[in-house]
Amino acid sequence: MTGGLPTAVRDRLGRPLRDLRISVTDRCNFRCRYCMPRETFGSEHAFLERDALLDFGELKEIASTAYELGVRKIRLTGGEPLMHRDICELVASLSSLPGLDLAMTSNGVLLPRYAESLAASGLRRVTVSLDSLEQATFEAMSDSRYQVQDVLDGIAAAERAGLGAVKINMVVKRGVNDSEIADMAARFRDTPHIVRFIEYMDVGSTNGWDASHVVPASEIVDAVRSRFPADVVDDSDRRAVATRFRYRDGRGEFGVISSVSKPFCSTCTRVRVSAEGTLYTCLFASAGLDLRAILRGRRTPGDLAAALTGRWASRDDRYSELRGSLQADRNNKIEMSYIGG
Ligand code: SAM
Ligand code: SF4
Ligand code: SF4
């Protein structure tokens, strides 16, 4: 054990396996332009059939195996995880792993329906995505008919259920919602919730990403600080992906995730499992390990653990650090809605 954590399997760059993200569905009730553009994910799109998805027994087996290998944090994501009707059953099953930090990322609009049951089933925390407080911009970015108020109601429901402080993810896209950075900070000052501004990333190959769409973290921080002076928090938890800033007047904090301008691959301890059971060791991977084939094939006890250990031990991913110089196949990357961010 080190620092209260069990010894974990390490990759080729010495990074331990600590975090698991599970995408429980590739479906979503939004069509965010930067994630599931309707041109690709429209009515013709073939979503995964139910029997192609991992069932909850299979997910529990993957989670338990990852836990044995050192994982202590699991985040449920999607697509939209609350589109899975039985999500609370999965939460209840995973929350029985002792000391596990079990969290979820959601677009929030179904939280008023589910927050209480999720908390009662053992969910600890929720992150809610909200890109704009302006209805027109929100609608354009999410390409949905939902209201900003629906998301705010979801955040309030999470707070009432004891799932706060809620982290609020805002993906910043130049010329689209960057004029709202300080307004978003203002909206959640004096609340227990923490806004995290995220640089728009080149995940997948359908969102038409271009470097000119990215607002670098430094510019985001300046936009907030010009209205609300704030100091960087010297974080001893080096695994945190967000750089934290605390307002000088003591009215809360915000975070910035600088995956493009200041990558954090050297501390990346995260593995992802897609809804159909493929394991990816990087958000920008184009190939993964088919865990479903292992789970549904002829096997002996220990095969899954050996496969996970082998894959993590051979990992040398650091896409974001190499982004500028990379010769990788940029058009064949896995889509965000399959691996959940
Ligand atoms: N549907 C849920 C939601 O939106 O919160 C969970 C899945 S979503 C893929 C997880 C996170 O990824 C969201 O906060 C979303 O804003 C973020 N995301 C999606 N595409 C992104 C991109 N191209 N760059 C940065 N963040 C992105
Ligand atoms: Fe759906 Fe989340 Fe992707 Fe938006 S970011 S389309 S809410 S999965
Ligand atoms: Fe981790 Fe890959 Fe992102 Fe680097 S680019 S932080 S290795 S997921």
For 209-266, the pLDDT digits (tens) are 889 999 999 999 999 999 999 999 987 666 678 999 999 999 999 999 998 998 889 9
| Amino acid 2: pLDDT | 47
| Amino acid 335: pLDDT | 79
| Amino acid 329: pLDDT | 52
Q: Are 163 and 154 in contact (CB under 8 A)?
A: no
pLDDT band at 291 (very low <50, low <70, confident <90, very high): very high
Q: 34 alpha carbon to ligand 1 midpoint, in Å?
A: 8
Ligand 3, from 20, 239, 283, 326: best to mutate by most atoms within 8 Å of Cβ? 283
CA distance 61 to 303: 12
| Amino acid 238: pLDDT | 62
Give nearest CA residue, ligand 1 atom 11.
Answer: 341
| Amino acid 79: pLDDT | 96
**What interhelical angle do 111-121 and 148-160 show, nearest 10?**
20
Domains observed in the chain:
19-339 (3.20.20.70)
Work out the mean pLDDT of the chain and round it to a whole number.
93
36 Cβ closer than 6 Å to some ligand 2 atom: yes
What percentage of residues in the chain have a pLDDT greater than 90?
81
Instruction: State the first-to-last Cα distance of the chain, in angstroms, to the nearest integer.
Output: 29
35 Cβ closer than 6 Å to some ligand 2 atom: yes
pLDDT band at 334 (very low <50, low <70, confident <90, very high): confident
Better-predicted residue by pLDDT, 164 or 55: 55
- Ligand 2 atom nearest residue 341's Cα: 5
Q: 212 alpha carbon to ligand 1 midpoint, in Å?
A: 19
Pocket of ligand 3 (CB under 6 A): 263-265, 268, 282-284, 317-320
Pure H helices in the chain: 56-68, 87-94, 111-121, 135-142, 148-160, 181-188, 217-225, 291-296, 303-313, 319-322, 336-339
CA distance 129 to 148: 11
What average pLDDT score do residues 34-41 get?
94
**What is the side-by-side order of every strand in the sheet holding 289-290?**
230-232, 243-247, 253-257, 194-199, 167-172, 125-129, 101-106, 73-77, 19-23, 270-273, 278-280, 289-290
107 Cβ closer than 6 Å to some ligand 2 atom: yes
| Amino acid 237: pLDDT | 62
Torsion angle, alpha carbons of 176, 178, 179, 183, to 10 = 120
* pLDDT at 98 exceeding the cut of 90: yes
CA distance 126 to 118: 10
